[in-house]
Structure 1
Amino acid sequence: MSSTDLDGMYLIQQVSDMTGLSKQVIRKWEERYHLVQPKRLENGYRIYSEVDINFLLSVKTLSEQGHTVKRAVEMTKARKIVVDAVPEPPQSLQHPAILNDYVFQLLEKGAHCDELELHLVLQKAYHSYGLDVFLTSVIVPFLKEVGDRWHRKEWNEYQEAVSSLVTRDFLVQIRRNYQCRENASLIVGACLPYELHEIPLHILLLQFMQKGWRTMLVGASPAPGSIELLVEKLKPAKVLLSATTTAPFENDPDLLKRLDQFAVDNKHIDFYLGGTGALAYTTNKKLRAIHVTNSIEETLR
């Protein structure tokens, strides 16, 4: 029986795949702390709702932050009382702390490295939500969960790679089919040399495309100098540089200095640098022409 057969309800094995918690732990938290109260099918099998799964994930996250399970349960229940007492608008679905049905399905399929099912779920979510909500409510929280589970060693490299690559390919497909005016302003998004993670740029460029921009992507780990050559050729209005790790700067200590000088020499173009690695590396470093930011609002000005 699949999750779709249960219409938004999930069997305990599916919940285990989605949360990374064993079935034994789920039952223990249910019975000892009364955290969730799953319904039962006629055959006695437990079935869990989206709310139940979010509660389990909340307790898991709080316990990983150092709280006892008992305290984490108390905090989660207290949060539920506050949320129930203050009605939220439909847009609350976009809150990254609240995962939705499509994210749960993706986590389940990703745990089993099922490429076809991952693609089909992404396709359904995209057509259901539209691009903007799809990116903020499905893609971003799903990839965050994937990254967190890989770092915690709950998922192996194959599970992380399959989930990330299927997601990347789906975003590439959207970008290729997205129609933009030929005379629209151009923005170039570029991974820095030695940077392997291009998905953040796909998300950013799609958000720019919604605003009417044409986009060009320089993918993972481009050759040194290729960014400058492309920018000189295309003359874009903006350039987004991305580094999720500090590897680009560690492998080429002069990289940032050269790019900043290139930006100085091309003052008619706005240069932005973002990503976790870039923010960490540029702390206490003053750049002359490159703006360091993780805010798409700033880059859209």
Structure 2
Amino acid sequence: MYNIKSVSKMLEMPAVTIRAWERRYHVVTPVRSESGHRLYTDQDIEDLRWLKVQTEEKGINISQAVKMLEKMREERRRLPVSETQMPVMSDNLEELRSDLYRALLQLDAGRANAVLDLGFSMFHYEEMFHGVMAPILCRIGDEWERGEVSVAQEHFSSNLLSQRFYQFFRVFPVDPALPKALAFCPAKEEHQIGLLLFLLFLRKKGMDVIHLGPNTPQLGVREIIRNHGVKVVAVSLTDPAQCEETERMLGELKAEFPKIKLVLGGQGFAQVSAPWRPLVLDGNREAWETWYAADVQTMKRG
């Protein structure tokens, strides 16, 4: 057990902040010594450290971070003790990827969520999404296409990791001065990991994004653009066999909405026709930043 002075020193947090979080958000419930002083457990310290990382390093407000912590606690309470133990590993992304990959293929939601919780407490969320979750989803998707993992394993992994993306989409505030975007994968395209990463980038910038996900029919897209003031449309494609059909869809969209700004991503556009090539973005954040500064910020100023 530790007194508040010791906890403040260990976490490099002002004691007044610890008391404020305790009083306002009930993030910890220290016991009292015989003399009335607060005493904190190891778990209290770990929870406070996790909140500190979320608020100081990841820019999440304390109210949202507390909600995330409560959800993690609830998940742990529903699991057997053996599954709630946090995995022991070094601060190494490769080890984290390996541990998470094994848990997903074993369909072990408790273990997978525990690994993710630990990872988000150790690394910036962008490192987790780009360095851990995206590579695993790509690997499992490739292995599914080769028949090395089952449909159940692929669906389980995709659903569990996608839920983590969606949790973060709600964290970032929307800037109403920015144009509204629409993001989707065209019909017959089921893989959306690249789209989720790009969507996270747009949400971090403050853009309001309507996310339709994989296998989206063209008719629904046109209705949304027409009825919801969409100015930017992001399309992700991984299957080159669908490129020609997607080009026809893009041409029809551009003909009906000539002022719409299209942005394309994914290996499915590697051999896209010449008129569409300037709209294809590389899958790195530097290219995304350049595109955003040149196109979206110009629309905001306009």
Q: Which deviations, in whole Å up to 9, do the C-alpha atoms of 1:84-138 show, x marking residues without a partner?
A: xxxxxxxxx7xxxxx4332122112012111232233223323432322222222
The within-5 A match list for 1:136-175 is 136-175=130-169
Moved over 6 A (4+): 1-6
Which of 208, 212, 235 is 1:241 aligned to? 235
The answer as to 2:280 corresponding to 1:292 is yes
Counterpart residue number, 2:182: 188
Percent of matched pairs sharing the same residue = 20
What SS is found at the alignment partner of 2:262? strand
Letter matched to residue 270 of structure 2: L
**Quick check: 2:87–2:115 contact (8 Å CA) kept in 1?**
no
What SS is found at the alignment partner of 1:125? helix
Letter matched to residue 222 of structure 1: T
- Counterpart CA distance in 2 for 1:193 and 1:131 is 30
Counterpart residue number, 1:69: none
- Counterpart CA distance in 1 for 2:145 and 2:84 is 27
Letter matched to residue 232 of structure 1: R
Cα–Cα, structure 1 residues 258 and 105, in superposed 2: closer, same or farther, change >3 Å? Answer: closer
What SS is found at the alignment partner of 1:100? helix
The answer as to 2:1 corresponding to 1:7 is no
Counterpart residue number, 1:125: 119
Which of 271, 274, 297 is 2:262 aligned to? 271
Letter matched to residue 236 of structure 1: V
Deviation, 1:237, is 3.3
Give unpaired runs (5+ residues) of structure 2: 1-81, 295-302
**Quick check: 1:263–1:289 contact (8 Å CA) kept in 2?**
no
Counterpart residue number, 1:26: none
What SS is found at the alignment partner of 2:217? coil
The answer as to 2:209 corresponding to 1:215 is yes
Q: Which deviations, in whole Å up to 9, do the C-alpha atoms of 1:33-82 show, x marking residues without a partner?
A: xxxxxxxxxxxxxxxxx9xxxxxxxxxxxxxxxxxxxxxxxxxxxxxxxx
TM-score, normalising length: structure 1: 0.59
Cα–Cα, structure 1 residues 299 and 123, in superposed 2: closer, same or farther, change >3 Å? Answer: farther
**Quick check: 1:279–1:293 contact (8 Å CA) kept in 2?**
no
**Quick check: 2:84–2:114 contact (8 Å CA) kept in 1?**
no
Counterpart residue number, 1:103: 97
**Quick check: 1:273–1:290 contact (8 Å CA) kept in 2?**
no
Letter matched to residue 294 of structure 1: D
Cα–Cα, structure 1 residues 270 and 289, in superposed 2: closer, same or farther, change >3 Å? Answer: farther
Counterpart residue number, 2:222: 228
- Counterpart CA distance in 2 for 1:6 and 1:274 is 35
Cα–Cα, structure 1 residues 288 and 181, in superposed 2: closer, same or farther, change >3 Å? Answer: closer
Letter matched to residue 88 of structure 2: D
Deviation, 1:204, is 0.8
**Quick check: 1:242–1:275 contact (8 Å CA) kept in 2?**
yes
**Quick check: 2:240–2:270 contact (8 Å CA) kept in 1?**
no
Deviation, 1:186, is 1.9
What SS is found at the alignment partner of 1:104? helix
Deviation, 1:206, is 0.5
**Quick check: 2:130–2:197 contact (8 Å CA) kept in 1?**
no
Cα–Cα, structure 1 residues 6 and 184, in superposed 2: closer, same or farther, change >3 Å? Answer: closer
Cα–Cα, structure 1 residues 6 and 109, in superposed 2: closer, same or farther, change >3 Å? Answer: closer
Deviation, 1:249, is 4.7
| Higher mean C-alpha displacement, 203-212 vs 257-266 | 257-266
**Quick check: 2:86–2:114 contact (8 Å CA) kept in 1?**
no
TM-score, normalising length: structure 2: 0.59
Give unpaired runs (5+ residues) of structure 1: 10-49, 51-92, 94-98
